[in-house]
Structure 1
């Protein structure tokens, strides 16, 4: 059991306009803060150090406003923050092109979304909790998404050398509201009128933390274990049925045999757009990531297992097309467009190819070679491996953006080269001189700094240098692969640390939806889904990409937690699948990319009415891995 003392707490009364009208410190007994009289009760610390706090709130006259519970840590001139899935350290690096909330000490630039204080609605967080660290220790506070006073909020603030985290009943969003755009919306809040004649019972949880930033891991695991029995997830279909639906979606809706591509997006509505869908369907294919070889590989594995000739033929043609069209620099291209053919990645750097996309395509090409040995595929894999190995910097950095024409590394920033580690480790049959493994080891040492700092960023092409769940997947796959090849315990330790960080993006509870929204009508359970990133605040299924690696990590550590979390993700995304044309206002096999669990991009409770190739592909991949014995769910 932890010996850390419980944090010192402060209660604040905030009026409807956001002004603090009363405040008082107190961890037990009766506390008066402005209009509130609060009986504060704290329980004994749990084995993980969690202290339950109950607030019994009364008022003598009606009051419309908020009650905020604050925990603070001193010696925090340079604080570190974590709100799971939502806020990581400074959150947005100063040189990140994408604009979303950023912390900076002493800053007050709401229009630029740079501030020294932030408050958010809780459903933006994968776990409604906020962590802060100073030089010698940290603190944490959390609550449930909803309360008797309405939807809750979480947040942070920096005052001199003091870092504060809070929960607030009901929520306030301050200094502005982020809605997915570079232009913020005005600050918003839920409203609640506290009335006399009774008490409102509110609950929170707090903890005192050591200086190690990774101290969040046992706390979040304990909160997940508390939450799991209260937030069930019921898949709609079995794993084999889900595989069949996803494979049909790839072949029926995304595959175009001329020239042999998996179109990235397909609209649910085929009547308004016309049969060919061209006004809304994205007539393009990335070589990896949102389309291309990874999902063709999943389709190939499915086709071989089930004897589906159409699936095998489609998968083979897509991989053939990618392998037959390498860039002048020797790697794959970034993406193909119907109007212009093969071209660069989604990067503002002219002629740039994104390292993560190239690495993921190469990794899954190597896996495809395990299913179907083809000389042209092997030659393409070797070309990609050779040129990226030869570009590696002496310190192990593999580069983030590469020039399509001459192979120069155009950017070394971020950690997008992580995916190449798994690719190099998977190329054992082609590694005649051991140079691929040597490159993987050097890269593993270099990128370890991102994992150890608890800030991994740069993986998706469209989110620049923001921290994302996809960075976590890449790190897990990289360090599990290194351990698989070398049995070095250092890599296993880094794999575990990376998995803990990745799981901060995974929802530990079921968001409450309005009953007439699509997600509310269908009872969609969010536990197991991942926040895409602090910049893209929607749930997505990309975490299924490392189903195999999480199972392998559990086997190597003897800790079932990681495999269980992989299973719950697969449970989550076996919901909301159209099993027949017309269901979910779509067609069988169409699978959305975005589930809107909070107010960002779209109103909470909606879904994006586009099927994405990667959404079907990653579900198919996880199902095939589980069926092959790499995962644990037998649904």
Structure 2
């Protein structure tokens, strides 16, 4: 395993055999798998020069790639309709975002490290996201005229084009350092040798997280857990609840004058049954209302769940979405009549939780949950696949691609706990066995409705629900191992470090910390807080395994999410209780350091769910 150092000009042209540069490289073993890399570069030219340093290492042929939160294998299934970077040997096409080499600015990655595995073993190269030379770059690639390689560039240069959220490549973003005569820099990196098992990323990421934690204090939330619960309950009720019919609208603008103050000029007057709105967050509002004795919250949460559970499709499922003026419709898919498995299963799961939590009986809720469960039992094939998309009228399974159906495993497990029907436990087991190969092979994809078959952090949340739930109803090392594997994969999306923001941006001005945040997906490169939905599951894993790292990650995510809750009207130009959907940590959809100026019901809702769990479940109290 040979580590090479190269120099290049601003446009990427190599600097070869120049007497103006002196390079000293020292590679020292520091453990069984890790080598410390110390690189010193000095420039002795007569005039200033713009240049970039590149550290690269050859990797096994036909590798499996990983950049945490950013690149997974080929990164995009050929069947995926969403366009974002995809690796394909010997190809290069900006219009379809396909290339045989890719390099990215480090703030796109949840941890600044690039991995590659072959049949005989793997290699990883890690470095700080920022060095004295600027923002780092991370690269991978192979081609007919060059070996498979991973690299870091100092500072970054994206190749062969950049992805900024558009369905095509744009001119590559790059930075370059301006060297003065006599200037020198010392860079520290790590080179890792790994077994062929792709899951060998997990201990490397744990080491890198621990080092970041030791180097910097934890995130300081703006508010404590109780205040976060109070604010988010108010925000969900005040800005997202509508009475006739009872819905939680998905988005509400910060600028209420523009929106007509609860009018229809900017707010998204729509509701999914789960995922980005609906039952999970109505359940959270209802729980909070019961705990603090607020009749308005109790009435609103109850009414929303009543509305959704009273309107089922002819196939016996929940609908996908409700729209003002249009009523109940399908999911977000171009497929006519399509209903998304993850959304239906999540709605069912949280209906079950609402039924179990309520001190009064809700027969309509129970019957709706059972109707959806019966539908899923019928949709599950002999292998255990629940399907990923269904037709809202006929119930036909329209697709069995991806792992969106894994969410049903968690719903079936909790249905067994609530009703004791052995069919639900058997369906959960069969589904758990079917989807196990996807977990072990690190190829979870398809959970959100809006990115088709892309891998996302949300696929990890669904898998964690599934296998923690399975272990509760069928304790075994198999399910516990899969739960840990799913959690490890999910945490590849969790930022282990703090992105540096320009102090003149809003995130920079407020001292926003990205550690503990989740990248949404390689397709949607922004930070979000959806991981709060499985706070209890991560804590349960720590209790079951004795490994505190899962609970620590849950606590960090909860701390991250308690930044940028509007504490009063006008706080960061929002209204009291509002929470944004997107924090822009990199050049995708918006400028780094900005945030999306609208409040989203799910962003408020998952935070309310997590805070209610911490406040009411003694085993979670330490997460505060």
TM range (shorter): over 0.9
Secondary structure of 1:581's aligned partner: coil
For 1:608, the equivalent position in structure 2 comes to 596
For 2:161, the equivalent position in structure 1 comes to 176
Q: TM-score, normalised by structure 2?
A: 0.97
Secondary structure of 2:75's aligned partner: coil
Cα displacement string for residues 349-370 of structure 1 (whole angstroms, at most 9, x for unaligned residues): 1001000000000000000001
Matched, 1:397 2:385: yes
For 2:276, the equivalent position in structure 1 comes to 290
Structure 2 Cα separation of the partners of residues 439 and 395 of structure 1: 10
For 2:471, the equivalent position in structure 1 comes to 483
Residues 404, 621 of structure 1: alpha-carbon distance in 2 compared, 3 angstrom cutoff: same
Residues 33, 623 of structure 1: alpha-carbon distance in 2 compared, 3 angstrom cutoff: farther
For 1:147, the equivalent position in structure 2 comes to 131
For 1:87, the equivalent position in structure 2 comes to 71
Structure 2 spans left out of the alignment, 5+ residues:
none
For 2:10, the equivalent position in structure 1 comes to 16
Residues 12, 203 of structure 1: alpha-carbon distance in 2 compared, 3 angstrom cutoff: same
For 1:219, the equivalent position in structure 2 comes to 204
The structural deviation recorded for 1:33 is: 7.4
Structure 2 Cα separation of the partners of residues 193 and 418 of structure 1: 51
Indicate conservation of the 8 Å contact 1:131/1:140, yes or no.
yes
Where do residues 134-533 of structure 1 align in structure 2 (5 Å cutoff)? Answer: 134-160=118-144, 162-231=147-216, 232-372=218-358, 373-428=361-416, 431-533=419-521
Residues 338, 209 of structure 1: alpha-carbon distance in 2 compared, 3 angstrom cutoff: same
Q: TM-score, normalised by structure 1?
A: 0.95
Comparing 361-370 with 299-308, greater Cα deviation is found at 299-308
Which residue of 11, 14, 21 maps to 1:36? 21
Indicate conservation of the 8 Å contact 1:13/1:35, yes or no.
no
Structure 1 Cα separation of the partners of residues 622 and 171 of structure 2: 44
Secondary structure of 2:259's aligned partner: coil
Indicate conservation of the 8 Å contact 1:567/1:632, yes or no.
no
Where do residues 546-561 of structure 1 align in structure 2 (5 Å cutoff)? Answer: 546-561=534-549
Structure 2 Cα separation of the partners of residues 132 and 400 of structure 1: 30
Cα displacement string for residues 95-117 of structure 1 (whole angstroms, at most 9, x for unaligned residues): 11000000011112233211110
Indicate conservation of the 8 Å contact 2:69/2:110, yes or no.
yes
The structural deviation recorded for 1:431 is: 4.2
For 2:35, the equivalent position in structure 1 comes to 51
The structural deviation recorded for 1:196 is: 2.3
The structural deviation recorded for 1:202 is: 1.4
Indicate conservation of the 8 Å contact 1:564/1:632, yes or no.
no
The structural deviation recorded for 1:142 is: 1.2
Indicate conservation of the 8 Å contact 2:352/2:418, yes or no.
no
Cα displacement string for residues 20-69 of structure 1 (whole angstroms, at most 9, x for unaligned residues): 233xxxxxxxxx7785321112333236x332211110122133121100
The structural deviation recorded for 1:251 is: 0.5
Q: Count matched residues.
A: 617
For 1:27, the equivalent position in structure 2 comes to none
Secondary structure of 1:177's aligned partner: coil
Structure 1 Cα separation of the partners of residues 18 and 561 of structure 2: 45
Indicate conservation of the 8 Å contact 1:132/1:163, yes or no.
no
Structure 1 spans left out of the alignment, 5+ residues:
1-6, 23-31
Cα displacement string for residues 530-556 of structure 1 (whole angstroms, at most 9, x for unaligned residues): 000000000000000100100011111
The structural deviation recorded for 1:583 is: 0.7
Structure 2 Cα separation of the partners of residues 380 and 320 of structure 1: 10
